[in-house]
Structures are given as structure tokens and as C-alpha cells.
Amino acid sequence: MIGSRSKTIVIWTFVAIALILLSAPTIVVLGASFTAGNMITFPPQGLSVKWYGAILGASDLRQAFIRSLIVSAICTVVSIPVGTLAGIALAKYKVRFEKAIQIYLLLPFTIPLIGSGIGMMLVFGNMGVLGQLWPVGIACCVINLPFMIWAVTASASNLNEDLELAAANCGAPPLQRFLYITLPAVLPGVITGSLLMFILALNEFLVSLLLVDARSVTLPVQIYNSIRSIITPDLAAISVVFIVCAGIAITLLDRLVGLDIFLKSK
Amino acid sequence: MNLSNGARESAAAQAAVSVKNVSMRYDDFYAVRDASFDVPKGKFLTILGPSGSGKTTLLRLIAGFGKPTSGEIFIGGQPVSAVPPHKRVIGMVFQKLALFPHMTAAQNVAFPLKMRRHDARTIADQVERYLELVKLGGFGSRRIHEMSGGQQQRVAIARALVFEPDLLLLDEPLAALDVKLREEMQLEFRRIQKELGVTTINVTHDQREAMVVSDEVIVMNDGLIQQRANPVTAYRTPQNAFVANFIGVTNFLEGPATSVSGNEVAFRCAGHELSGISVGSGPEIKAGMSCSGAIRAEQIRVAAAPEKLADLTFRFTGEIIDAIFEGERMVYEVNVAELGGVSFRVFDHDPIGHTQFLPGERVLVGWNPKDMHVFGNNHSPN
Ligand SMILES: Nc1ncnc2c1ncn2[C@@H]1O[C@H](COP(=O)(O)OP(=O)(O)O)[C@@H](O)[C@H]1O
Ligand SMILES: [Mg+2]
């Protein structure tokens, strides 16, 4: 038997190692972005914010970033109604083909993205819409939708079915029951799912790579293109901007619904 | 024929609710079988039965959450099977309350009015009035999870009543409360119901609650209505062994009927002939039929000396098996060897003499034939 004291020490050691491993890349990038030198190095050589000035001035990076935001917005806006309705339906009703749907919900972890990416490249290519931004948004929505559905079903399964009956008993017709009772009950899940969808689309690299051309490069692809030429600290700075975006999303989530819900959603 | 039909229909029109031959089947299982009853306007009716007896099913059919497999329900004289729940003007308090968790107490109470498109002024006034009625004035801005069980209960009542429905349905809303609060809320229900005069159907498995709050009681078991009577009648003259056993604490003696004359039966138990016993209001008993004699725990007296039981017709010796002190009374378990070793539950109120028997003591138990009821044994008690 291990004493509870030494057990605590072991557990905390593991936690510390995990935290270091998880945060090390972020810290390295953060440090490198403030370098005064012209090389990406850690620890940084001197401190300056000149690389942040540089990315502000770099119109290609800025435009790629704006394109990424548009893609994320499209992805999120499409996923909200689809994911919410699908999530509620899955939680509330005995749906046919439940097995098939469960397998679909596992897809993001099983199918290599390159596979779905190529599939969508063919579809959108045939439609002749490659090079526009909305196909990228739709593609991100399709591959990440299971996350949205999960978030919604997790809060919908807390929905006591008597609540809708009670609303009916109070005189609410079906649409009002949905709007006033069902929707607010799953709202935390919808918020969680939306932020998740937004961040995932903002970060999506592989599928974007397959679907963009020179006119519609998104930020992750733009960064990738730059790495292939020369690695300068402005890439570290733009990575920090990314991290800040994710940080804002997490903070919003915590403020709006609390992180415990986010972590609980299966 | 025509005339009597017409008379019946007008009686149904006066009833606030009228349930006619309603059955509800799930697959091949009947949750409710051929239930028929009326609830007169302004009355408080309780459906009493053990868990699984079909009470909730029946109540939900009245509320409109599902259609009966057969039969028809009339509300205010109109058949309602084609009326969806939100168009039936019925208030309901759910077993688990089903308050809307994302709304405040006042928003919960306002919801039925909002759905009925009352103007903001009326809603505010009415909500305040009903929160006042359930003694929650000033609590309107509380969130549901910030309220105690009893307060949530009151919010649910206010929500069910605020739109002044013709009918109030209560599905065991007190089951989750502790005893003291439950008893307080029972009286509260009674007070509010009297004050508003709203026809009420209450569902419970708690026989005490049924006695305390109701004008009328319907006892249900296995989806079948066993008896419909006012509380006193249901208690004093149960219709069958199930009712006798379910309401109150009842002892049963088994044996064949030896003679039947008018309203009196004699039956034999362990070689003793017990005669002059009233026939229960159930099915007819014939000589030779196996039957159960039921006698309430509080109608049996226990004493050490025979003189003390001189006024009782039946007297048997027994031995105290267990003695439980319940404050205002003693509860004895008495083994009566003379009657084949049956165990009797006896309530003994002796607030003056404080007699107390101990396990192992030999005692006499006695009762009068008029307090006993005999039922033919189609199904056994317990
Ligand atoms: N939706 C349903 N499907 C199948 N059986 C049901 C359903 N609802 C209730 N039952 C069954 O009907 C019987 C009566 O249930 P209920 O009306 O809830 O009883 P009570 O409220 O008296 O406890 C129970 O045996 C229950 O299992
Ligand atoms: Mg029930």
C-alpha cells in the first residue's frame, strides 16, 4: 500500500509533467514572438513587439486571417440549426438507424481527414465552386458537426420530458414549447458546440489546404506556405494571435455556460 | 329509455369531469381497465392506489398527454379526445413538479398567462395575486434552484392555478416532501381548493392524505377501480379485501362461510364460529364460500382481565409478540393461538391508565361483530 501522502506526491508530479508538456509549445511560441532578433529562437534575443507590428502590416496574413474568420463564421452559422435539431432529435426520440448515427458521431476520430478532404474536393470541384470561401466553411461544418451534436445531446439528455408536457399543460402549442422550453434547456450545449465549431474551423488546416486556391488561402494554410520559405518570428506572432482567439473563446464559454458543462459533454 | 339517457347526459354535463369506460393499453398490458367515474363541479377527488396501479396514466389521459385505447373523457360535458393538451384548460402539478429551471418563480407562474396572450399589466397583477395565495409574496424573483422543496411546491401550485382553470390535477406532488411539510401542504391544498372552488383530482398512494384532503376517494389497484366513496365510507365500509387492507391497518381471518342471512354472515375460523358479522359491500357471499373477515387494528381491544372486555362479543386469548411505543398509542402484535396462530396488529390508546404489555405476556383480545367485514375470497388480501 502506498501512503496517501506519497500517493499525493505521485499524482501531483504527473499533473505537473502533463501541464509542462501541454504548455511548453505555447510558452516557446509566446517567447519567440517577442524576440528582437530576426530568427525564431527560444529563449528570445531581447524583447520587442516589432513582429506584431510586422504581421499588422502584412496584408497577406491579415487577409488570410479575415478569410479564416469568415470560414469559421459560415461553419458556425450552418452548424447551429443543423446540429441543434439533430442533437435534440437524437436525445429525445427513438431514432431509426441509431447504430449508424452513433458510428457517424465517431467519424472525426476514425476517418483520416485527408480522406474526407479529398471527397469534398471532388464534390466541390465538380460543382465548380473551389476557390470560394463558403465551400471551406461547409466542409469544416461537415467534418466537425459531430462535436456540435454531442454538445447538444449532452444538455438535451438533462431535459426532463415532463417539462414539455408541463408547458403544453400551461397552454403552449408545439412551436412555443420548443422555443420557450426545449431550446433554453439545450442552450448551454448550443453555445458550447458553436464555440467549439468556430475554433475548430479557425484551426482547420488539412481540409482547407485541399479546398483553397491562391485567392482563398486561410490562415493556417498561409502559415504553412510561409514555413516552407523562411521561418521568421512573425509566424510565432501570428500563432500567438491564434492562441489568443482560442483563449477568448474559452473565456466566453466559461462566462456563458461554465467550463464544467464543456468538459462534461460527452 | 330515451328519457333516462337524457337524464344521464345532463348529469354528465354537470360533472366537471366525466370518465367513461376508459382503458389504456401498452402493448398487451392494461395500465387502466374500463374506468368510469364523474367528478362533480368544485369537488376534491383523490385517486388512491399503490404504485403501478395506473393513477398517473389515468391523470395524464385527462390532461391530454395521450389518447385512451378505448372510452371517452368529458370535460365540462364535452368529449375531449380530439382536444390537444394545450387547448384543455387544465392546471396540473406534476409528481416531479416540472418547473422551468431557466425561469424565476414569477416567470414560471406567468408562463400560462403569457401563452394565453394576456397583457403585461394583467399578468403582473395575476402573478402577484397567486404568489400571495400560495404565501410566496416577495419570492417572485427567486430562481427555482434557490428555493426549498416546499417553496417549489407552492410555485408549481401557483403556476397550475394562475390561469384559473376549470380543473386542477395533482400527481403525487407531495410524495417527495418530509412528513411534517407534507401534512402542512395537504392542508394548504385543501385551503386553496376551498378558497377557489376549483374541481380537483389528486393522485396519491398515501391513504392518510386521501382521507385528509378529499371529498371523495377512488381506490385503484391493477388498473381497476376498486371503490368510489367518501373517505368515511371507504374507511368504515370497504368494498373488498383490497380496500380494507390498503386503507388503514387491517387484520384478516380466513375461513368458510357457514350461514348467510340478510346482511349478516357467520364464518368459521379454527373451529370457532364467528357470527353476526356484517357483509362487506362487495360481491355476494354464499354459504360454503371461502372468505376473509377483516377487523381494523383500532377496533380490537386488548386486556389482561376478561372483565375489561365484557362488552365485546368475540374474545380470544393470545400472547404479545411485539410491543411498539408510538407516543400517543401502543402498537401490539398479538399471536392468537385460539384462532390457529394468526398474528393480530392492535392499536391501544390508553392516555389515562398508560397500560403497557410486554412481549411474552398473555392477554385477551376482543372485538364486536358489527366492526368486522366479511369478503368473499376471489383474491387474497396482502
Ligand atoms: N409509457 C408506458 N409504456 C408502458 N407501460 C407503461 C407506460 N406508462 C406506464 N406504464 C405501466 O402502467 C402501469 C401503471 O403506471 P402508472 O400509471 O404510472 O402507475 P401509478 O402512477 O399508479 O404508479 C405500470 O405498470 C407502468 O409500468
Ligand atoms: Mg404515478
Instruction: Answer whether residue B144 is part of any domain.
Output: yes
Give a yes or no: residue A202 inside a domain. yes
Its ipTM equals: 0.82
Please check whether residue A30 touches B, CB under 8 A: no
Measure in Å the smallest separation between the Cα of A162 and chain B Cα atoms.
6
How many domains, in total, are found in chain A? 1
pLDDT tens-digit series, residues B131-160: 998 889 889 999 998 999 889 999 999 999
User: What distance in Å separates residue A144's CA from the closest CA in chain B?
Assistant: 29
| Claim to verify: residue B39 and residue B131 sit in the same structural domain | yes
**C-alpha cell of B210?**
386521501
- Point out the residue among B86, B98, B102 whose CB comes nearest to the CB of A171: B86
Domain boundary among B207, B236, B265: B236
B228's grid cell: 368510489
- Ligand at minimal distance from the CA of B224 is 1
Give the side-chain half-sphere CA count within 13 A for B151.
Answer: 16
Together in a domain, B197 and B282: no
Mean pLDDT (whole number) for B252-277? 89
Beta strand B90-93 with B167-171 is parallel
pLDDT band at A266 (very low <50, low <70, confident <90, very high): very low
Segment B186-221, tens digit of pLDDT: 888 888 898 889 999 999 999 999 998 999 999 999
B349 and B228, same domain (yes or no):
no
Instruction: Tell me: pLDDT of B33 over 80.
Output: yes
Beta bridge partners of B105: none
Which of B208, B236, B264 is the C-terminal boundary of a domain? B236
User: Closest by alpha carbon to B238, among B261, B53, B247, B255?
Assistant: B247
**Best CA proximity match to A197, nearest among A35, A72, A30:** A72
Cell of B58: 389515468
Q: What is the mean pLDDT of residues B82-90?
A: 94
Closest Cα in chain B, distance from residue A219 (Å): 39
Question: Do B294 and B214 belong to one domain?
Answer: no
Task: Report if residue A93 sits inside a domain.
Answer: yes
> CATH no. for residue B178?
3.40.50.300
Structural domain boundaries enclosing B181: 5-236
- Please report, for residues B18, B167, B196, B203, the alpha-carbon distance to residue B75 in angstroms, rounded to integers and kept in the order given: 6, 9, 18, 18
CATH number of the domain to which A86 belongs = 1.10.3720.10
Asked if residue B38 and residue B160 are part of one domain, the reply reads yes
Q: How far is CA B128 from CA B110, B118, B136, B168, B208, in A?
A: 9, 15, 9, 20, 32
| Percentage of chain A modeled with pLDDT above 90 | 22
Tally of domains in chain B = 2
Backbone dihedral angles phi then psi of residue A73, each to the nearest 5 degrees: -65, -45
Which residue in B has a C-alpha nearest to residue A169's C-alpha? B86
Q: Which of A187-196, B82-91, B118-127 has the lowest average pLDDT?
A: A187-196
Question: Cα(A155)–Cα(A84) distance, rounded to whole angstroms?
Answer: 11
| Residue B67 sits in the same domain as residue B125 | yes
- Collect all residues from B whose CB is shorter than 8 A from any CB in A: 60, 63-65, 84-87, 89-92, 94, 96, 98-102, 111-112, 115-116, 159-160, 163
* Strand partners for B216: B45
- Cα–Cα dist B90/B367, whole Å: 47
Q: Are residues B72 and B190 in the same domain?
A: yes
Which CATH number covers residue B347? 2.40.50.100
Which H/E stretch holds residue B225? Answer: strand B224-229
B221 ligand 1 Cβ < 6 A: no
Residues B150 and B42 in one domain: yes
Same domain, B274 and B166: no
B291: β partners? B255, B376
For residues B279 and B239, give the distance between their C-alpha atoms in angstroms, rounded to a whole number. Answer: 10
Q: For residue B262, how far is its CA from the centre of ligand 2 (angstroms)?
A: 40
On the 0-12 / 13-18 / 19+ scale of CB atoms within 10 A, B350 is exposed
Quick one: what percent of chain B has pLDDT higher than 70? 94
Residue at a domain's end among B210, B236, B262: B236
Q: Is residue B257 a part of any domain in this protein?
A: yes
Most confident of A212-216, B1-5, B122-126: B122-126
- Provide the total of helices (H) and of strands (E) in chain A, helices listed first: 13, 0
Nearest CA in chain A to B64: A169
pLDDT at B303: 93
For chain A, how big is the Rg over CA atoms in Å? 22
Tell me if B381 is assigned to some domain: no
Query: What predicted TM-score, i.e. pTM, was given to this entire model?
Result: 0.80
Average pLDDT for B7-14: 52
